[in-house]
Amino acid sequence: RTDYNPNFKNSKNMPWACVYLDLGEHHILMESGYNEFPFAVFEWERYPGFAYSSSPAQDAMPDIKALNIIKKSSLQIAQTSAEPPMMASEEMHDIDLSPRGITYLPTKDSRLEPVRTGENYPITLQELANYEQAVKDWFYVDYFLALQEKQGNMTATEVMELQGEKAATLSTFIVSLNEFLSKVIQRSFNLLMRAGLLPEVPLSLMDKKAVIKIDFTGPLAQNQKKYHQMGGTVQALSAVGPIIQMFPNAGDFLDGDELMKSTMEGMGMPQNVIREDDDVKKIREERIKAQQEAAAQQQQMAMAQTLMQNADKLGQTAQQGSPMDELNQRLAGGMNGI
């Protein structure tokens, strides 16, 4: 709707309209509305000229049907090999084909032998394996297994790059999936919020008009994030490392704090173990203060040692009010002033 008044809390003043029509009588039966669009639809891939999206199962349907036919044929071949049709003389009766069965031949020329139909079981198994792999490829089975398995003797970095490359091939579908899930999560959150089932929003967030950011932490989303965020970072650091060694001042172009944040986010580090900016600032201030106090204490101790050595060499008594006299008073007090 574009002509609604958000100040009125009723069903006819909502951003999205819901209208039931009697097309025969051209009459509105009921009119209501929604605060958000109430439906979320996921599209895997839509081909030109088609109103609806396709799916991996739909794309793989020809191979699936062929696989079913080949599987049925392989079972028939296996059964025919294990229990072949038999050829017998016309006058033979009471043939016993059970284990250890005995069949009596009426004449010496009578024969009982299997009929070979020329089946080739290994070829059928190879075709079966080919179509099975084709169906797996339609569903990206190898990719999803790669999310959890380490490939041979590959290093962790190589595995991450391999998984990232495969994630890039699914980037279009992942974006569509994230959009679909984001709408579902946003709608669910708003329903819970309006129903009063969530804690009250802190005033600090209300004042800032904070917007909810949905971050997906599943293996699929994390690998795509690692590939897009960390791939360039790792390559860039490898390239600029030798440059910084030759020209140390060039490292000033890098913002260490932002690099750390980007790396932690890209690698999927849990938020509950990452400190806030204010906490980090406080820790750094306390560290600098402690270092300054330690440096001042060392400086005073070095000064005291120097004055003591000079006093011993000169054999002089410290005059009242002099630095040496002040130092002696501090030493007499247990070095409380240092």
DSSP string computed for 140-185: THHHHHHTTS--TT--HHHHHHHHHHHHHHTHHHHHHHHHHHHHHH
Q: Is the pLDDT of residue 338 over 50?
A: no
Residue 66's pLDDT is 92
Burial class (CB in 10 A: 0-12, 13-18, 19+), 224: buried
For 117-169, what is each residue's pLDDT tens digit? Answer: 656 667 778 888 999 999 999 988 877 776 666 556 667 666 666 666 677 77
Lowest-pLDDT choice from 196-205, 207-216, 224-233, 297-306 = 224-233
Residue 291's pLDDT is 92
Q: For the chain, what is the mean pLDDT? A: 80
Looking at per-residue confidence, does 88 or 258 come out higher? 258
Q: With beta carbons less than 8 A apart as the criterion, state whether 59 and 86 touch.
A: no
DSSP string computed for 34-48: ESS-------SB--T
- 111: pLDDT confidence band, cut at 50, 70 and 90? confident
For 6-61, what is each residue's pLDDT tens digit? Answer: 788 788 888 899 999 998 888 899 988 998 999 998 888 888 888 888 889 999 99
- 188: pLDDT confidence band, cut at 50, 70 and 90? very high
Q: With beta carbons less than 8 A apart as the criterion, state whether 45 and 173 touch.
A: yes
Lowest-pLDDT choice from 6-10, 159-163, 268-272, 288-292 = 159-163
**Which of 186-190, 264-268, 296-300, 306-310 is the most confident on average?**
186-190
Spatial distance between the Cα atoms of 228 and 250, rounded to a whole number of angstroms: 25
Strands 112-114 and 86-88 turn out to be antiparallel
- What is the domain partition of the chain in residue ranges? 70-138, 156-273, 284-332
Spatial distance between the Cα atoms of 314 and 312, rounded to a whole number of angstroms: 6
Spatial distance between the Cα atoms of 5 and 15, rounded to a whole number of angstroms: 9
**What average pLDDT does this structure show over 84-95?**
76
Looking at per-residue confidence, does 148 or 253 come out higher? 253
Nearest residue to 3 (alpha-carbon basis) of 30, 122, 13:
13
Residue 330's pLDDT is 62
Model confidence pTM above 0.75: no
- 283: pLDDT confidence band, cut at 50, 70 and 90? very high
Residue 204's pLDDT is 72
Residue 285's pLDDT is 93
Structure tokens that stand for 250 in this block: 């060039």
Residue 197's pLDDT is 93
Residue 337's pLDDT is 46
